[in-house]
Amino acid sequence: MQDVNRLKLVLVEQKKTSKWLSEELGVSPSTVSKWCTNSSQPDIETLAKISKLLEVGVEELYNKKFMESVSKR
């Protein structure tokens, strides 16, 4: 699967853990793990919450190449 998001990288940059994020969002750690490995993606509402918690724009959570491929459609 194509790397869609940069969530894992942003968490590392901010010295936060996936466990912390799962607790903040009230989801299981395995769910966050799936997002970090691009096995699945959060819905748009959850993505907005993640963006707010990490104090980054939603666009910063997405892989640049993925965003470019979407904009070409």
Residue 26 is classified by DSSP as T
Helix axes 18-25, 29-36, angle to 10 degrees: 120
How high is the pLDDT of residue 72? Answer: 61
Higher pLDDT, 2 or 58: 58
How high is the pLDDT of residue 69? Answer: 53
Residue 40 is classified by DSSP as S
Query: What is the CATH architecture assignment of 7-71?
Result: Orthogonal Bundle (1.10)
Task: Read off the pLDDT of residues 8-56 as tens digits, 9 standing for 90 and up.
Answer: 989 999 999 999 999 999 999 999 999 999 899 899 999 999 999 999 9
> Cα separations (Å) of 67 from 2, 12, 22, 29?
12, 21, 25, 26
Q: What residue ranges do the domains of the chain occupy?
A: 7-71
How confident is residue 59, by pLDDT bands cut at 50, 70 and 90?
A: confident
Higher pLDDT, 28 or 67: 28
